[in-house]
Structure 1
Amino acid sequence: MTAATATTADTYRPALHYAARNTWLNDPNGLIHHEGVFHLYYQNNPMDNVWGNMSWGHATSTDLLTWTEHPVAIACDEEEDIFSGSVVFDRDNTSGFGTDSAPPLVAVYTSAYKPASELHGVQAQSLAYSLDGGYTWTKHSGNPVLNRGSAEFRDPKVFRYDADAGSYWVMVAVEATEFQVVLYKSHDLKNWELLSAFGPANATGGVWECPDLFPLPVDGNPENLKWVLTVNLNPGGPNSGSAGQYFVGDFDGTTFTSSTTVTEGLQDPDRLGEYQWLDWGRDYYAAVSFSDAPDDRRLMIAWMNNWEYANQIPTSPWRSPMSLVREVSLASMDRSWCLVQQAAGDLSPSPDATPSFGLAAVEISEGHHVLDGAAGSVQRIDLAFTPGTAHEFGLVVRGDRTQGTRIGIRPTEGLIIVDRRESGQIDFHESFASLDTAPIRTSGGSYELTVYVDHCSVEVFAQGGQVTLTELIFPAAASTEVSLYAIGGTATLNSLSITQYA
């Protein structure tokens, strides 16, 4: 739910997702929870609704659903663009930017130097600090603080490490075209020492960007911690274009060691389906997590777009939304681990609430079956299926009896699909129309889905969040039908409930 309200001329503005009022946005940056407020900074073009003039936009929320847009936080200038990075609360004032009684927030970002700078062509890491809780920022006079002389060194994610190896700041950044995550340490955020590097590994079909590194308890057991390294890449995703992958392993304060690497070095294109993906859809990129989230929760958000067509999606005056914020956890599975994701914020129906639409124990016969009374533009749909003789079954959302977005299961192939080839406007770019797939297995003989439908998107959480697919769609405002379908036989709908949000 954004600060702006959808209008007839703005059919696609999301109700559940953040989008800037009238400008371009891409990667989330500087995510932090501070003094009861979630701060979402992001790559922003303050002057247009296409990529350029990279600066840090800013929005805040107390509930992860309703966002308030603020003035640009850190602006580009004649010498540098402000690329991606992170924000930390320097509670011990290690940087010296604040005082012991009033410690600062510190932004660590990539300076992409322009022709007016003597460092033209270099990407290096710089600092800015805030003494008012993240609303105004001052660039450090000693920038950059870390310069490798590289044109592709970017996207620093910084966190406080405190374990047997010591207590210090750790930065994870990328050498994008070398498919490497590089790790540094610092005691004051200004002077950095190289620790190690990770990669190339698994997916290397495009540049590596926007890494993150964090611990998670396995199956909720705090005595069994594993470290998760996420790294996004463009292109090279499992269904084409931008995507994010993850590795699970250990971090000893110096080196991250992966236990889930499938291929070392450059990827085998035939093995994309074996890698661990943050999301199998076409529109979940640059995902990073919030620092200092309450109750040690690991909360992530991503840019909901794809660089193949990002500048051409048919929205105006804004362009590009963010995904829902997700809480991530780590589950053991088949002698390995799986990142499990659930939508955060108050999107779940209360236990005693009556859904706006519900069904139970219905056989789905061959064909498409419109559900009278289920129509809507902004919905949460919870449903479970048991396969029968059909080789594909599922539901269609944002439909109008001739078009719609198909979300289906192909049990014999072990696949879940999202088909947006008939999802309304699809001709603005040749690569947008797609049928995207992800591997899925039954759980107790059934398939369980939670689908969040918004004015311009679907986010699918399957099998309790073990598999997710996020896709932009651009249906007509009148396309609101929900239907069930089966192809080549029958299936059973065990249960279905719909919560209407708007």
Structure 2
Amino acid sequence: MNAVLVYVSGVFHLFYQHNPHADMPGNLSWGHATSPDLIHWTEHPVALPARESHVIYSGSVVTDGHNTSGLKSGEQPPLVALYTGHTDRHPARQHLDKQHHEAQYLAYSADGGHTWQYGGETAVLDLDKADFRDPKVFWDGQRSRWVMLVVHPDERQVEFYSSPNLQVWKPLSTFGPAGQVEGIWEMPEFFALPDPQGVDRWVLKVDFNPGGLYGGSGAQYWVGDFDGTTFTPLTSSQTLDFGPDFYAALSWSDLPGRRVWLAWMNNWAYAAMIPTAPWRGTFTVPRELSLGPELQLIQRPVKELEALREASVPILPPQDQKMYPLSVTHAHELRLQVETHGGAELHLEFLSAEGVEAQVTLSASEVSVTRPDAHLEVPGFGGTHRAPRRDGQPQYDMHLLLDLGSLELFGCNGQISLTDLLLPAAPIETLRISAHTGASVISGQLYQLRSIWERK
């Protein structure tokens, strides 16, 4: 499920909602993994186990470099986690229709994130609400204080708070309802990025369920200004990813010089039915973020992934169609420069012994991914997922990552992204590229990728 990310002394930490005892929601805790390079990951013991009084929902981890919390007990600055504690049946709500309760709690680590202590049974922010969750915390250096966003799901609102010490919080402002309000809101994210003129703008992202483009869950964002109290959008709500399986994206806290995030690759419409074992659910590849000329969010796979490239073959311009063999045990990366005019289309079909397992169509007006209905019972899984092009250019790039059970596509220099889980009836073993009505490949390269579990 969704991740909580922090960068500490050259190490990427990934905490994630996790049931240590089953592959279904329940007993929610924070699992823990670390990486030196965003590629190779080491699993660690559960960081925050479910408590007797509440389970552990999403939140944030930050480095308290100034020890504002007073929780430092060694040479290292403390890591502080702010998380939502969820209680199914709260004694004070037994007379209400909604008997569950959510509030924001604190935990901390004195050894760089490997062992944790809870900050007592008392919440640091409690509005006595059933649904009030997913704190996003960051240090506002200009004003020397902490800022936290927490979502009010049913009201479709994000509320801003400030604190001098991560433990006492006062309200600042509220954003919403706005944009997509069909479903409840969850998982806010908020950070600054420079626009093409070098002016810092703020990106506010929020997820929703239902109301996604293809049913189930989805995500939207705004770009605007933040004066330390209020977020003022300069854009309307924009779609974050045009595939069905990109949810709960969060970025690494305290990562200097760049903004990188990843998301839960799943959809609430069928998350509990994905027929995988012994795990259920996965994350996208990490993505580097920037802002485009129209204040759109640009997403590109991080450069670190290039270290996994092994064998490669050039993709030649197809006069009709060409076939390229794929390894059934490896992931692949495909880079293309294509040209499409008018109604021209370039089709990429990913084939198994059972037939077409996914098709990508590139045209002058859109990029699309089509996946068949799952061979196992996963209602709503099949369909075509479309991303409109806004650049209007006949030539553009496409960057595709194909794993054994997923497809992540980035187009038009990262202006377009589509994220799709795949449930192939048999392993994908062939790529077929065919041109229609004058579409063409200008240049391209197909890479086989080494497994992240293999070390050089």
Q: Which of the five TM-score ranges fits, normalised by the shorter chain?
A: over 0.9
* Equivalent residue in structure 2 for 1:324, among 281, 285, 289: 285
For 1:111 and 1:76, the matched residues in 2 are separated by: 9
- Establish whether residue 378 from structure 1 lines up as the match of residue 331 from structure 2: yes
Q: SS state of the match for residue 296, structure 2?
A: strand
For 2:194 and 2:223, the matched residues in 1 are separated by: 12
**Who is 1:153 aligned against?**
132
Segment of structure 1 superposing worse, 88-97 or 464-473 = 88-97
For 1:154 and 1:67, the matched residues in 2 are separated by: 28
Evaluate the alpha carbon distance shift between residue 76 and residue 117 of structure 1 in structure 2; reply closer, same or farther with a 3 A threshold.
farther
For 2:75 and 2:306, the matched residues in 1 are separated by: 40
- Establish whether residue 276 from structure 1 lines up as the match of residue 238 from structure 2: yes
Q: SS state of the match for residue 34, structure 2?
A: strand
**Who is 2:438 aligned against?**
490
Q: SS state of the match for residue 315, structure 2?
A: strand
The Cα shift of 1:402 comes to: 2.4
For 2:129 and 2:427, the matched residues in 1 are separated by: 50
Evaluate the alpha carbon distance shift between residue 482 and residue 349 of structure 1 in structure 2; reply closer, same or farther with a 3 A threshold.
farther
Q: SS state of the match for residue 141, structure 2?
A: strand
Q: SS state of the match for residue 181, structure 1?
A: strand
Q: SS state of the match for residue 62, structure 2?
A: strand
Query: Which has the bigger relative contact order, CA under 8 A and spacing at least 6?
Result: 1
Cα displacement string for residues 404-457 of structure 1 (whole angstroms, at most 9, x for unaligned residues): 21011243xx221100016xx443211111211111145642131000000110
Tell me the amino acid that sits aligned with residue 280 of structure 1.
Answer: F
For 2:18 and 2:231, the matched residues in 1 are separated by: 32
Cα displacement string for residues 373-425 of structure 1 (whole angstroms, at most 9, x for unaligned residues): 455541000012212565532211254472221011243xx221100016xx4
Evaluate the alpha carbon distance shift between residue 476 and residue 445 of structure 1 in structure 2; reply closer, same or farther with a 3 A threshold.
same
The Cα shift of 1:77 comes to: 2.5
Matched ranges for 1:100-179 at <5 A: 101-115=75-89, 121-141=100-120, 143-163=122-142, 166-179=143-156
Confirm or deny: 8 A CA contact 2:76 2:111 kept in the other structure. no
Confirm or deny: 8 A CA contact 1:364 1:490 kept in the other structure. no
**Who is 1:418 aligned against?**
369
Confirm or deny: 8 A CA contact 1:79 1:117 kept in the other structure. no
The Cα shift of 1:88 comes to: 0.6
**Who is 1:358 aligned against?**
314
Q: SS state of the match for residue 148, structure 1?
A: strand
For 1:340 and 1:27, the matched residues in 2 are separated by: 21
Q: SS state of the match for residue 396, structure 1?
A: strand
Confirm or deny: 8 A CA contact 2:148 2:160 kept in the other structure. yes
For 1:316 and 1:142, the matched residues in 2 are separated by: 35
Q: SS state of the match for residue 212, structure 2?
A: coil
For 1:354 and 1:84, the matched residues in 2 are separated by: 37
Matched ranges for 1:17-416 at <5 A: 26-29=1-4, 31-99=5-73, 101-115=75-89, 121-141=100-120, 143-163=122-142, 166-219=143-196, 221-222=197-198, 224-261=199-236, 275-294=237-256, 296-333=257-294, 337-348=295-306, 356-360=312-316, 362-365=317-320, 369-373=321-325, 377-388=330-341, 390-400=343-353, 402-411=355-364, 414-416=365-367
Tell me the amino acid that sits aligned with residue 249 of structure 1.
Answer: G
Q: SS state of the match for residue 317, structure 1?
A: coil
The Cα shift of 1:293 comes to: 1.0
Tell me the amino acid that sits aligned with residue 450 of structure 1.
Answer: H
Confirm or deny: 8 A CA contact 1:325 1:345 kept in the other structure. no
Confirm or deny: 8 A CA contact 1:364 1:484 kept in the other structure. no
The Cα shift of 1:478 comes to: 3.5
The Cα shift of 1:208 comes to: 0.7
Off by >6 Å, runs of 4+ in structure 1: none
TM-score by length of 2: 0.92
Q: SS state of the match for residue 490, structure 1?
A: coil
Confirm or deny: 8 A CA contact 2:136 2:188 kept in the other structure. yes
TM-score by length of 1: 0.84
Cα displacement string for residues 117-174 of structure 1 (whole angstroms, at most 9, x for unaligned residues): 65762210000011111111111125201011111110000000022xx210000110
The Cα shift of 1:96 comes to: 1.2
The Cα shift of 1:370 comes to: 4.3
For 2:344 and 2:354, the matched residues in 1 are separated by: 22
Identity of aligned residues (%): 40
Confirm or deny: 8 A CA contact 1:171 1:183 kept in the other structure. yes
**Who is 1:452 aligned against?**
401
Confirm or deny: 8 A CA contact 1:388 1:492 kept in the other structure. no
Evaluate the alpha carbon distance shift between residue 354 and residue 96 of structure 1 in structure 2; reply closer, same or farther with a 3 A threshold.
closer
Evaluate the alpha carbon distance shift between residue 130 and residue 358 of structure 1 in structure 2; reply closer, same or farther with a 3 A threshold.
same
For 1:479 and 1:442, the matched residues in 2 are separated by: 32
Evaluate the alpha carbon distance shift between residue 364 and residue 312 of structure 1 in structure 2; reply closer, same or farther with a 3 A threshold.
farther
The Cα shift of 1:196 comes to: 0.2
For 1:446 and 1:426, the matched residues in 2 are separated by: 36
Tell me the amino acid that sits aligned with residue 173 of structure 1.
Answer: V
For 1:322 and 1:171, the matched residues in 2 are separated by: 24
Tell me the amino acid that sits aligned with residue 250 of structure 1.
Answer: D
Confirm or deny: 8 A CA contact 1:243 1:282 kept in the other structure. yes
Confirm or deny: 8 A CA contact 1:400 1:481 kept in the other structure. no
Confirm or deny: 8 A CA contact 2:17 2:30 kept in the other structure. yes
For 2:12 and 2:313, the matched residues in 1 are separated by: 33
Confirm or deny: 8 A CA contact 2:334 2:401 kept in the other structure. yes
Confirm or deny: 8 A CA contact 2:2 2:248 kept in the other structure. yes
Which stretches in structure 1 are left out of the alignment for 5+ residues?
1-25, 262-274
Q: SS state of the match for residue 77, structure 1?
A: coil
For 1:429 and 1:53, the matched residues in 2 are separated by: 25
For 2:21 and 2:35, the matched residues in 1 are separated by: 24
Instruction: Output the aligned Cα RMSD.
Output: 2.1
Evaluate the alpha carbon distance shift between residue 354 and residue 388 of structure 1 in structure 2; reply closer, same or farther with a 3 A threshold.
farther
Confirm or deny: 8 A CA contact 2:60 2:82 kept in the other structure. yes
For 1:251 and 1:82, the matched residues in 2 are separated by: 30
**Who is 2:453 aligned against?**
none
Confirm or deny: 8 A CA contact 1:55 1:76 kept in the other structure. yes
